[in-house]
């Protein structure tokens, strides 16, 4: 009796997956040249996700740990303690090595005072404004900081500096000379819009309307907050839901007070990596590929295939079988009018 049931489920879900993931007429789906490996490490799209170019061949030698970071005009790549930089308007990135002291697990943040590089052991640098061709010097900042667990650094519009250490979030109003704890627990990924601060944390997404002195949880589904982003008119966020054992995607258009789920058209997944806006579209990095929405999440169309198996992802919820290992998932970044998709390990 088990075999006929399995056959029916296979037939049913295979049909549903094909229907769910049929691209719209306006979208051209480009399959990866290989499902994993040296190629398809980094893809870029300059036409709103309709077509994709594999730019992995121009990368420096990549070590076991790779970080990718992007702002309005620049992209950075860190690997094995080295940092590389390219302008994003180029046809393909031209990577130039940065003159930065070797840091352990270098991260980049784009704050109002400039580009910062930091490591989790408390070494922080700010990029000096260019003084001529090839000038890429970095100066140490916050040298009085005594910590060995820097998770994030964020500068608010009023000049306040926030630092997450993995155990708490602290605030400084005197350029990092003194710090005041404002929230317990791990906090990361802060954003700000029109006087509202949002951040990911151990219980989901938290919000502050008094310049970060006090915080309240506005999305809490039992798991941690994965990402929070500014979008036109509001915010988008990803959290882990312990009831469904999957990540969920939400938007808010009232300053983060109330939130709406926007992932009903996507297969449930533990490995939704990111949500980004480019132009009039929302994009999501998902186990089953890269998805695009023209209506803020009401409908989704896949614009690039993923590394996983969407049929198996559907079946596991019907049969309650363990999830198959997924080798990679695309994490998304926006720089100007360019969308980047970087293959990372699930859960990163």
* Pair 301, 27: CB distance under 8 Å: yes
For residue 122, with 0-12 CB atoms within 10 Å meaning exposed, 13-18 middle and 19 or more buried, which class applies? Answer: middle
Which of helix, strand or coil describes residue 82? strand
CA distance 140 to 117: 9
Identify the residue whose tokens are 């052991």: 121
**Distance between CA 150 and CA 103 in Å, rounded?**
13
Produce one character per residue of 327-340: b if its CB has 16 or more CB atoms within 10 Å, e if not. ebbbbbbbbbebbb
Question: What are residue 329's DSSP bridge partners?
Answer: 344
Digit-coded pLDDT (tens) for 201-221: 999 999 999 999 999 999 999
Contacts of 266 (CB under 8 A, 6+ apart): 249, 272, 284, 286, 288, 291, 300
The owner of tokens 């480019």 is 278
Q: Give the span between the Cα atoms of 10 and 15, in whole angstroms.
A: 8
User: What is the Cα–Cα distance from 276 to 67, expressed in whole angstroms?
Assistant: 18
Residues 236-271 pLDDT 10s: 999 999 999 999 999 999 999 999 999 999 999 999
Q: How many CA atoms lie within 13 A of 208 on its CB side?
A: 20
Q: Per-residue confidence of the chain (348 residues) as pLDDT tens digits?
A: 333 333 333 333 333 333 344 433 333 333 433 343 335 589 999 999 999 999 888 777 776 678 899 999 999 999 877 899 999 888 888 889 898 887 778 899 999 999 999 988 888 999 987 654 455 589 999 888 777 688 899 999 999 999 998 889 999 999 888 999 999 999 989 999 999 999 999 999 999 999 999 999 999 999 999 999 999 999 999 999 999 999 999 999 999 999 999 999 999 999 999 999 999 999 999 999 999 999 999 999 999 998 854 433 333 333 334 445 557 899 999 999 999 999 988 765
Contact 204, 223 (CB under 8 A): yes
Residues whose CB falls within 8 Å of the CB of residue 5, separated by 6 or more in sequence, listed in order: none
3 state DSSP class of 58: helix
Which of 313, 315, 324 shows the shortest CA–CA distance to 6?
A: 315
Helix 310-319 and helix 2-20: axis angle, to 10°? 130
């Amino acid at each position: 009796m088990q075999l006929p049931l399995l056959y029916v489920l296979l037939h049913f879900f295979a049909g549903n997956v094909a229907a769910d993931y049929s691209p719209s007429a306006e979208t051209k789906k480009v399959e990866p040249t290989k499902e994993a490996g040296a190629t398809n490490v980094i893809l870029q799209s300059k036409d709103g996700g309709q077509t994709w170019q594999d730019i992995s061949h121009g990368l420096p030698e990549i070590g076991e740990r790779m970080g990718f970071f992007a702002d309005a005009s620049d992209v950075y790549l860190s690997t094995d303690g080295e940092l590389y930089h390219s302008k994003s308007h180029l046809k393909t990135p031209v990577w130039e090595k940065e003159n930065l002291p070797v840091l352990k697990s270098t991260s980049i943040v784009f704050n109002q005072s400039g580009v910062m590089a930091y490591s989790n052991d408390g070494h922080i640098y700010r990029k000096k404004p260019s003084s001529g061709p090839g000038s890429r010097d970095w100066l140490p900042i916050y040298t009085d900081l005594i910590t060995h667990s820097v998770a994030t650094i964020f500068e608010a519009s009023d000049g306040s500096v926030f630092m997450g250490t993995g155990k708490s979030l602290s605030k400084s109003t005197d350029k990092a000379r003194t710090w005041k704890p404002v929230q317990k627990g791990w906090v990361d990924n802060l954003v700000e819009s029109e006087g509202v601060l949002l951040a990911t944390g151990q219980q989901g997404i938290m919000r502050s309307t008094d310049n970060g002195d006090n915080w309240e949880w506005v999305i809490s589904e039992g798991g941690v907050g994965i990402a929070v982003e500014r979008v036109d008119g509001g915010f988008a966020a990803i959290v882990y839901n312990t009831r469904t054992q999957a990540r969920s995607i939400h938007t808010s258009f009232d300053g983060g007070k109330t939130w709406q789920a926007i992932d009903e058209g996507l297969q449930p997944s533990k490995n939704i990596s990111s949500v980004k806006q480019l132009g009039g579209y929302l994009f999501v990095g998902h186990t089953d590929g890269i998805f695009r929405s023209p209506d803020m999440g009401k409908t989704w169309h896949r614009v690039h295939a993923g590394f996983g198996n969407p049929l198996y992802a559907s079946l596991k919820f019907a049969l309650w079988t363990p999830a198959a290992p997924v080798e990679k998932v695309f994490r998304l970044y926006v720089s100007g009018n360019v969308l980047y998709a970087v293959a990372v390990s699930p859960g990163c």
